[in-house]
Amino acid sequence: MINPAASPVERKPSPGYPERRGPEVLLLAPTTMADAEQLIEAVRRNRTIVINLCALPEAAGQRLVDYACGGMAAIDGQSHQLGLGVFLFTSGVTRVEAA
């Protein structure tokens, strides 16, 4: 039975399994330059962000990545290209290795 008083985003651990808390990865498909500011703020709060630029024209996507990379440099973050139009942004405390 669904409890209507419970928040829809509130998750309770399954019986027999411990509650999981750990690093979060946020997946974004930015559509405006304002999304770049959100990305930088999220990394500042130690979240890892993966963006897919498929929703943006190529020039706008390049501008967003340039802006975000500048923000990463300002907050000692990291940026990595994972594929065509897909980028990873994370704080400096996260270890990223290529395999």
Q: Does 43 have pLDDT greater than 50?
A: yes
Domain contains 15? no
What pLDDT does residue 12 have? Answer: 62
Domain contains 7? no
Domain contains 3? no
Domain contains 67? yes
Mean pLDDT of the chain: 84
Which pTM does this prediction carry?
A: 0.74
Domain enclosing residue 67, as ranges: 25-90
Place of tokens 């027999």: 16
Strands 78-83 and 48-52: unpaired
Domain contains 86? yes
The whole-number average pLDDT for the span 38-51 is 93
Where residue 31 sits, what CATH number does that domain have?
Answer: 3.30.110.150
> What's the number of domains the chain is made of?
1
Q: Helix (H, G, I), strand (E, B), or coil: what is residue 15? A: coil
* Token digits of residue 70: 């500048």
Domain contains 1? no
- DSSP annotation string for 41-89: HHHHTT-EEEEEGGGS-HHHHHHHHHHHHHHHHHTT-EEEEEETTEEEE
What pLDDT does residue 72 have? Answer: 95
Domain contains 9? no
